[in-house]
Structure 1
């Protein structure tokens, strides 16, 4: 006797496929055939281009493998709701999920805000158009230090007075380390409220795309192109004479900054050496310090001969006593009394007896 076909109704839902929950009547055409989840997936995607391998089913949160039978299965009964999921790539050593991560791991990963990417052009413009200390737009009066950094003079002086200069600018000690610069403005043009500058000779914009120099002797700012094309030992603006060492590159690269730093250190050493030589020169013609001369306390002539300081005996006032003078009395003028002459009393200490 032939068995009747088995059939019952189940529900299918999917959030990944964005389809509403719908009822599906299943009918096993052949009771002897094991109608499984694999057959259900094939029937579901038969009219679409979706591959059955990219889908998987779950029931009450539990995965249903393709070989799971739908008929005569105690887990799947009539009116059961099966959920269809899209299978996403990952979990195979390609950086995807492995299932071992905890939920807190993902929450912490997204809780930390990633820093915004900085536009290199914005950084370059900020370095050339803003004060290196306050980051405000450059405005006159503008000064430059000996390493080529630009500052608003007001901001730098205020930081020096309050003694709160950042560590990278601690080499600036005062006004002597600043050089006033003359930046040529582009007439009638402002960018984001800030002034724009240019080379007064070539018209090249002062924006970091071109190399610029400050002439230390006069403070004018000229492009490297202008100094190269017009060969002159005088400033092209004010015609004041300058040397190659008077040129300071503005916002130079690491090598140029290191060269300026070495130049500053060399100037400092030379200055110290000049101070030492001047000090020795003022001390005497042959390196001698000033000598005691005169007739004070009855001493005539030079009291100490520094040329023979290693071989001469220690100076004694008694040896220089005038004629008809007691040597001990004369020596007491220059030396204190001996310890044996002192005695402590209840009212004073170290007061020599016999003195009023």
Structure 2
């Protein structure tokens, strides 16, 4: 059966089915993770840092992100300070040719990697699994770590444990484990910090004597004071004050020359003595009013 134009309609032209989802370019996705900063989307360049989730960043991009007052970008909410990232120690690959780098070589889609594993020499292109050690920042291939099975870094010989091995750009399942491990590590750090603060405060309180305990005097039993003893104390105080007043008054009235207790040598030091009065010239220190 044909149409007016003599054509026959096919089922493909009349029935439209749902289109297949567009597939991602795996090579482009791998290059974006391993060769570009996850914040600025710029090519990775030293110094390079990595977070506890295994993502790679340029250090200056992380600093700009922390200093900016804008809302935190999606995927980097866990980076609150530079303590949340680790600076990586990468091993550069030896270049066989002296030709200048093209724009594609600076973090683009090329097969030659810029960094390699210092133990096995595997290229860090994303095809092989790599991890970094949080204790020292060295980047080692997983093949080398599994083959050596050592408790020290094969590159710098610094000790590390299994919790300090962070896979770079992990898969979804590994990413979930890393996130749980990161939250557990942060909670432990907060608990340790609080415990150390409490112990420091407790030690300071023990070292410093409290004023309430040190300032208290021993209690004495108060005896009632009778009227006769009170009168005797008052009379004694009055007599003591009278004798003091008379002594002061006598000292004011008497001069040193008239004091019988003073010696002749001591009296000669003053202008009130007889020898000083009979002098013809005044003293060189003070003015003598007798002249």
Which segments of 5 or more consecutive residues in structure 1 lack a partner in the other structure?
Answer: 1-52, 58-83, 97-113, 303-356
Q: 2:215 aligns with which of 279, 300, 303?
A: 300
CA gap 1:280/1:95 in 2 versus in 1, 3 angstroms = closer
Is residue 202 from structure 1 mapped to residue 120 from structure 2 by the alignment? Answer: yes
Which residue number corresponds to residue 162 of structure 1? 68
Secondary structure of residue in 1 paired with 2:199: helix
What is the root-mean-square deviation of aligned Cα atoms in Å? Answer: 3.3
The answer to which structure has the higher strand fraction is 1
Shift of 1:291: 8.0
The answer to which structure has the higher helix fraction is 2
Secondary structure of residue in 2 paired with 1:214: strand
Size of the aligned set, in residue pairs, is 202
Separation (CA, whole Å) in 2 of partners of 1:276 and 1:301: 34
Which residue number corresponds to residue 104 of structure 1? none
Secondary structure of residue in 2 paired with 1:200: coil
Q: 1:193 aligns with which of 105, 110, 119?
A: 105
Shift of 1:122: 1.1
Separation (CA, whole Å) in 2 of partners of 1:291 and 1:255: 56
CA gap 1:93/1:136 in 2 versus in 1, 3 angstroms = same
Secondary structure of residue in 2 paired with 1:203: coil
Separation (CA, whole Å) in 2 of partners of 1:220 and 1:125: 21
Separation (CA, whole Å) in 2 of partners of 1:162 and 1:144: 19
Shift of 1:121: 1.5
Shift of 1:93: 7.0
Q: 1:131 aligns with which of 27, 33, 37?
A: 37
CA gap 1:280/1:211 in 2 versus in 1, 3 angstroms = same
CA gap 1:293/1:251 in 2 versus in 1, 3 angstroms = same
Shift of 1:213: 0.7
TM-score (structure 1 length as normaliser): 0.50
The one-character-per-residue Cα deviations of 1:204-254 (angstroms, maximum 9, x if unpaired) are 221222111101121110100011112322211222222222211111112
TM-score (structure 2 length as normaliser): 0.60
Following superposition of structure 1 onto structure 2, how do residues 1-356 of structure 1 map, counting pairs within 5 Å?
53=1, 55-57=2-4, 84-90=5-11, 94-95=15-16, 118-164=24-70, 165-188=72-95, 192-194=104-106, 196=113, 197-284=115-202, 292-293=210-211, 300-301=215-216
CA gap 1:85/1:122 in 2 versus in 1, 3 angstroms = same
The one-character-per-residue Cα deviations of 1:42-73 (angstroms, maximum 9, x if unpaired) are xxxxxxxxxxx4x433xxxxxxxxxxxxxxxx
Separation (CA, whole Å) in 2 of partners of 1:244 and 1:216: 10
